[in-house]
Amino acid sequence: MKINISRQNLYIIITSLFLLIFVLLFSFLVLIPQGKEYRKARVELKSKSKDLRKYQNFSDETEEILTDLQKKHRHIITAFDTKFSETRFTKQYKKYFSSLKISQKVKLKQEDEFLTYEVNTTSQINSPKTFYNFLDAINKADWIVGVNFPIEFVRDGELIKSTFSMKVLCNNKDDNSTKAIKKVEK
């Protein structure tokens, strides 16, 4: 029995067989292992995307809170940046006293970002209510000022002499820039 297969059919069968073997080898050696890695990478990507969204939401919320606080406390932020001036302070708050004298401006200590000044004042007022009005006005001042206790009131005829000390905090811009320069030089 002789099988009559033409040459063209034989070439087609051999080519088909070769392609079938190539496709099977390619799928088992390349596609299936890559598919497993792809699935692992896809699961890891979903996990990282979930973490990214969570952190992005947290970042957005924090940024929103920060901008709200900056808008709300803009006055305080600008007060930290304003340098303390004795003459300007005296001009601005002289209306609360019959006489206001700032005696000394001593640099108390230098903290990391702020300079603290001790300002001792002596003033003559008409009534303690004037002094309390002064305290209310100082809360809205261009500086961050803390009035220290004790506050001494001494009656002198019609006037009350008051003596108190204040701490003025101001931003330490100059020292920060020199620190940055020193760090770069090192």
Share of residues in the chain with pLDDT > 90 (%): 23
CB 131 within 8 A of CB 98: no
Is the model's pLDDT at 186 over the cut of 60? no
CB 144 within 8 A of CB 76: yes
Q: What is the pLDDT of residues 119-165, one digit of tens each?
A: 556 666 767 777 778 778 877 777 777 777 777 777 777 777 777 77
Mean predicted lDDT score pLDDT of the chain: 76
Is the model's pLDDT at 67 over the cut of 70? yes
Taking CA atoms, 167 is separated from 35, 85, 92, 147, in Å, by 69, 13, 17, 6
CATH number of 83-177: 3.30.70.60
Cβ neighbours, 10 Å, residue 74: 10
pLDDT at 14: 93
Residue 16's identity, in one-letter code, is S
The span from the CA of 157 to the CA of 5, in Å, is: 136
Is the model's pLDDT at 10 over the cut of 70? yes
176: confidence class by pLDDT, cuts 50, 70, 90: very low
H, E, C per residue of 17-56: HHHHHHHHHHHHHHHHHHHHHHHHHHHHHHHHHHHHHHHH
